[in-house]
Structure 1
Amino acid sequence: MIMSEVTNVAAIFGEDVFNDKVMQERLPKKVYKELKKTILEGKALDPTIADVIAEAMKNWAVEKGATHYTHIFQPLTGVTAEKHDSFITAPREDGTVLMEFSGKELIQGEPDASSFPSGGLRATFEARGYTAWDCTSPAYVRKDAAGAILCIPTAFCSYTGEALDKKTPLLRSMQAINEQSLRLLRLFGNTTSKKVTPSVGPEQEYFLVDKQKYLKRKDLIFTGRTLFGAMPPKGQELDDHYFGTIRQRIAAFMKDVNEELWKLGVTAKTQHNEVAPAQHELAAIYSEANIAVDHNQMIMKTLKKVACQHGLQCLLHEKPFAGVNGSGKHNNWSITTDDGINLLDPGKTPHENIQFLLVLTCILKAVDEHADLLRESAADVGNDHRLGANEAPPAIISIFLGDQLEDVIEQLVNTGSATHSKTGDKLSTGVKTLPEFSRDATDRNRTSPFAFTGNKFEFRMVGSRDSIASPNIVLNTIVAEAFSDACDELEKAEDFDTCVHDLIKKYATEHQRIIFNGNGYSEEWVEEAERRGLPNLKSMVDAIPALVTDKSIKMFGKFGVYSEVELQARAEIQYETYAKAINIEAKTMIDIAGKQIIPAVIGYTKSLADTINAVTAAGGKAKVQVELLEQVSDLLEEAKAALGKLIEADKAADSVEEGEKLARYFHDEVVPVMAELRAPVDKLEMIVDKEVWPMPSYGDLLFEV
């Protein structure tokens, strides 16, 4: 095998990004300083410098081979959207053309707002919408089959000003937590930090299957998951795929993914095989929340693009295969100052770190009071198959603190003060040639949806294909509210030390119920959570109402993150998304079962009947063939009856009122009938001749990559 060229990561990293280094080289000093003020201090961009920035950006992009530019934004579809415009302006008299890009074109675009989900914010005839440059997230040149495109990250709003995207509320939530965090820091005597930013490090799980096999599965093509499929003889039970040796075809794919991402300034760091066969993971280093969101969208797009180049298909659905682990996206969240202080760093003696204890108990308060909203932020049609299924966190929100911090909280609750913190010790392996390890003061808990892991919280509930914007909007805002409440008390206190001590104890005591360090997969925890009064929202449909409760509307309104109208719109879009997704799945099942599976099984029964007749005519015994024919015929009859029920159930949806009622109808009536159809079909797959079965099996998809 010929080894590929060694990649010089340092040399290529960020080479296609209009980053700080490029801006310093290409912008006049005064313009560069003004732009940096906007980026770092959140000041409004001076429109007089926009033309200068646009010209420099255009020249740089053209040198990279760019012919077009696009305002790339994140509508409420969950994926990115873009419209490409060339740099060509009006032709000259001599037949040549000018290549121009103005400050106005950089700052503002005007895509059609009527064809994106708006939840009633926009009527079909009301088309105008605007994209606005987010200068805090760097522009970049993306190279693909369309050539080189200058991509400008933007926010997207309607003509009347409502946010029609995921980035605008994210930026609003970042402003909220910055303001409230600075209030808190000033109370503790910090006068030097000027900005507090939520930092996010997402982990991305995904499946890779052979492209040709994928194209033979209508369910994968139309819905992203397999609607039928029997388990192969081997699944993930040996745990041999997790962290196992990466196959050469997959390794080549990963190498190309890394190189593309590094050129775009994405800090792709970790890659490995995940638990399920054909499942893998990629993780990036922490970055500011809005950049992390942009980068994660770029990661998902790059995974899909590079997979095609390698004859593969990347599956980002949360549960593409029944019976093996689905895919999630762990959202690692922390808050840090511009001068490097992590507000979630407990230090070596957390019991003495009063500022940390206040931050921690504020987060306990935030998550406890808004557990339903945090659950909703991870609600997705595919995630319903994954949450609570012994492969992902349960649908019940709880916080894992670990032994050290749980002990500190118990001291605060029981005695009113904490006098000590548990510490780690040395871990000996018993092998003299191996060094002793420093053991952490706390273990990890993979069954917890919201776990403290040293100096950050890991929200493990997010679905693999979802934008991470929604959970971070919620996290930023609920913590901002908790900080605001605490600051309101502390700012009017006559004795700060006593007040902060009392507040920490109060929050710890009132919200201790949200702490759970045990096995989140157990039935005992479900019962215990119910006793504690914690919400258990098992499906997306159950979770959506959390968006429009009085407390959510009040909180988001207070910090200007969402208006009531925007929240109502998002709830409507969520209901509509669920209903449409299940409707597509139901129609796909009807199509596959009616046109492929049942005809194939009928053909197989004819073959069996012909065999029985031939064997019997020859004087032989056909007992086995007869039993097999009866078994297949019974399952075929069961499948046909279930197919009829599904057709009727899906048709009946036409008469159900749109919105919540329609979503609940699909959840309560259609989804169970889909399961009824799948059961006999999966049994038939285990009996019918493989050569007759009309689509690749799980074994073909998961193990032949």
Structure 2
Amino acid sequence: MMNKISAVFGSHVFSDQVMRERLPKAVYKSLKATIDKGEPLDTSIADSVAAAMKEWAMELGATHYTHWFQPLTETTAEKHDSFVSTVGDGGVILQFTGKELIKSEPDASSFPSGGLRETCAARGYTAWDCTSPAFVKTTDEGTCILCIPAAFTSYTGESLDYKTPLLRSMDAISKEALKALTMFGNTTAKKVTSSVGPEQEYFLIDKKKFAKRTDLKLCGRTLFGAMPPKGQELDDQYFAAIKDKIASYMTELNEELWKYGILAKTQHNEVAPAQHELAPIFSTTNIATDQNHLVMATMKKIAAKHDLECVLHEKPFAGVNGSGKHNNWSISTDEGENLIDPGKHPETNLQFQFFLAAVLAAVDNNAELLRLSASSAGNDHRLGANEAPPAIISAFLGEQLQSIVEQIIEKGEATESPKGKTYVSGASTLPTFTMDATDRNRTSPFAFTGNKFEFRMVGSTQSIAFPMMVLNTIVADQIKKMTDELEGADDFETACKALIRRELTAHQRIIFNGNGYSDEWVEEAAKRGLPNIKCMVDAVPYLAADKSVKIFEDLGVMDKAELEARADVMLENYAKKINIEALTMIEMSNEEIIPAVMEYQAELAKGAAEIKALGIDPTVQVSLLNTISEKLTELKSATVALEELVTKAADYEGDTEAWAKYFHNTVFAAFDTVRKPADELEKELPKTAWPFPTYEQLLFEQ
């Protein structure tokens, strides 16, 4: 098996090893300077790189190439171009030029732009991102495509994607962190890189059953469904033995991901029935973002081969836990030093304390912005619902760092820190070992986990580029403020300690190590003045607020127009998703549920009449008929009312924010009036009479 993994791992990636073997030394050195040190790309090497990339890709079977980019749709986009070019004598040659590698021109007219571009304005550009390696993607039919990670911009120069701001934010945090490190005596580090390991949760359900659910097909989540007698209350799914069929799926998924150089470190059953998780090894934030898109796409592709459907929606089933991403974030130098690692003696590690204070201050100062970064129509179902972190931003530090922070606040410096205890089992055959100095907290949205922070709020379908870009930016901003203040200090150590004490004191309100699911925490957070933004629509305005604009523009990450465009796209996307869900709910009610119930009702009435004709009292049948008729009337009335609400939404389309708020406050708020009688009817009818698979069949029959 080890030989198999070694042979396959990274085989479809134009990796550093491949570049070293295939590129001229001078070209390789120049390209590596851009990738590793952030030096400007020398475009004169493009032809040489393109030629080597084409030959490598063709050896794997590729006939086409594409700039693989991330428009503002939460998905990836690609336009395939052939390596084939004509020559003067009517023949053909296979070529791929440096110009084609560096730039492509997809049609930009139909991608979301938030008003940056008119629909009639079609020109847009993609630009090669050499910091994320190209790869060859293979379809089920055997077609191979050379995929070149790229940024996407409009003809007028504004970014129309998630990658461009992410790369800018990585430059910003590197620049500001290097300034700070210089003050601490590190003059040799040339680059600081943010990294992330995004844990991905997902559901696997039977493919044929999925195909019979209109809501799953069109919305990614169920809009109807009564809870079965058993859900997740026994906690017997979590980390349970993996079913053979699911294990077979995971095995093939791993093998496919290995080709892209993606290593799934952990895989297991999650809390909800039919729910699972994959946790990869961390990578630089840019590469991790690209890889997570590949993970999600590959999950779906492999599932189909096993007669399964991979469901990535944040809340596909009511009543059981939904899915998210847990983004394990840190920043490190090119020399391998993790700036979020407290080391053996965090109580005296002034550099660590500086960066810890900067992160906490950034999170507290920009809680609304960070909350927004994890917002989506799907994620609104999870946050604050006792299955995911609350919508209130707080930071868990654990016993060790909590003690250090308290000492600094009280005395100006820390002199000791709790150490890990030794585990003694009491059983002679079990080993003793040193336990961690702090516990973990799964209810915290932003939790310290030893040498990184785990941002646990992000939704399972989201591109991690946006939340990671926001986190990089706000931390870079705070580091800059603190570094600027320390510049020119007569006694750096004294000034730094005073600054750290001040920042920790000012922002200790976000430190919370308790149960984030409790009602007591909601009350306590309100007393502390922490924002509690319940839904995405209420969070979006913070993106283009004056405070945010200043941060993003000062660091060169995004300008006001780009921020306003993204806010507009998010609101429009929300309105459209709720509209699709409402129309799907209406269709399923009118065309599936009501006809099925009426058919059963007629059979029941006929049976009651036949029983009565035999002289038998049909009390049970009549009672059931009355119950069904009452709930059917309620369902039809609620469906008609929802149709009217959806029709009225057209009155708000001219104002994107008002349109989104109407869909949230009025249309979405009416969903339960339709769902409640439908779910009650499901419980009254036999499974054979219900028009589509039930929760029990979806969650327990894979």
Instruction: Provide the TM-score with structure 1 as the length reference.
Output: 0.98
Q: Which residue of 2 aligns with 1:634?
A: 630
Q: Which residue of 1 aligns with 2:113?
A: 118
- The within-5 A match list for 1:430-579 is 430-579=426-575
- The equivalent of 2:128 in structure 1 is 133
Q: Which residue of 2 aligns with 1:310?
A: 306
CA contact (8 A) 1:111 1:130 kept: yes
1:16-31 to 2 correspondence within 5 Å?
16-31=12-27
The reply on whether 1:595 has 2:595 as its aligned counterpart is no
2:420 aligned with 1:424, yes or no? yes
Counterpart in the other structure of 1:147? 143
Deviation at 1:180, TM superposition (A): 0.4
Corresponding residue of 1:686? 683
Find the counterpart in structure 2 of residue 9 from structure 1.
5
Quick one: which amino acid aligns to residue 178 of structure 2? L
Q: Distance between the aligned counterparts of 2:87 and 2:234, measured in 1?
A: 66
The aligned amino acid for 1:685 is E
What is the aligned-residue RMSD (CA, Å)?
Answer: 1.0
> What do residues 218-253 of structure 1 show as CA deviations (whole Å, max 9, x unaligned)?
000000000000111111111111111111111111
Q: How does 1:293-442 map to 2 (within 5 A)?
A: 293-442=289-438
**Worse-matched range after superposition: 473-482 or 407-416:** 407-416
Alpha-carbon offset, residue 146 of structure 1 = 5.9
Q: Deviations over 1:381-411 (max 9, x none)?
A: 0001111111100000000000111111111
Q: Are residues 644 and 87 of structure 1, via their aligned partners in 2, closer, same or farther at CA, if it must alter by over 3 Å?
A: same
Q: In the TM superposition, what whole-angstrom CA distance separates every residue of 1:312-363 from its partner, at most 9, and x where no partner exists?
A: 1110000000000000000000000111100011012211111101110111
Distance change >3 Å, CA 465–CA 149, structure 1 → 2: same
Alignment of 1:57 with 2:53, yes or no, is: yes
Residue aligning to 2:156: 160
Aligned AA for 2:116? L
| Amino acid in structure 2 at the alignment position of 1:237 | E
Question: How many angstroms apart in 2 are the aligned matches of 1:631 and 1:610?
Answer: 16
Contact 1:330/1:461 (8 A) holds in 2: yes
CA distance in 1, matches of 2:356, 2:310: 38
**How many angstroms does 1:91 deviate by?**
4.3
Q: Residue 639 of structure 1 contacts residue 677 of structure 1 at CA under 8 Å; is this kept in 2?
A: yes
1:146-295 matches, within 5 Å, as: 147-295=143-291
CA distance in 2 between counterparts of 1:381 and 1:251 reads 31
Secondary structure at 1:505 match in 2: helix
Give, in whole Å, the separation in 2 of the partners of 1:281 and 1:273. Answer: 6
CA distance in 2, matches of 1:552, 1:620: 75
Return the offset for 1:49.
Answer: 1.2
Report the Cα distance in structure 2 between the residues aligned to 1:59 and 1:349, rounded to whole angstroms. Answer: 52
When normalised by structure 2's length, the TM-score is 0.99
Equivalent residue, structure 1, for 2:665: 668
CA distance in 2, matches of 1:441, 1:270: 23
How many equivalent residue pairs? 700
Q: Report how far residue 202 of structure 1 moved.
A: 0.5
In the alignment, structure 1 segments of 5+ residues that lack a partner are none
Gaps spanning 5+ residues in structure 2: where? none
What's the counterpart of residue 35 of structure 2? Answer: 39
| Structure 1 residues 232-286: Cα deviation after superposition (integer angstroms, max 9, x where no partner) | 1111111111111111111111111111110111122211111111111111101
Deviates more, 1:196-205 or 1:612-621: 612-621
Please tell me whether the aligned partners of residues 404 and 422 of structure 1 are also in contact (alpha carbons under 8 angstroms): yes
Residue matched to 1:651: 647
- In the other structure, the counterpart of 1:610 is 606
TM-fit CA distance, 1:45: 1.7
* CA positional deviation for 1:659: 0.4
Report if the CA contact (8 A) 1:576-1:658 is conserved.
no
Matches of 2:43 and 2:193, distance apart in 1: 25
AA partner of residue 129 (structure 1) = G
SS in 1 for 2:325: coil
- 622-631 vs 150-159, which moves further: 622-631
2:100 to 105, 109, 113: 105
SS at match of 2:689: coil
Distance 2:606 2:542 in 1: 60
The 3-state SS of whatever aligns with 1:548 is coil
Separation (CA, whole Å) in 2 of partners of 1:627 and 1:7: 68
Q: Deviations over 1:75-114 (max 9, x none)?
A: 0001000000010001452x54100000000000000111
Deviates more, 1:429-438 or 1:210-219: 429-438
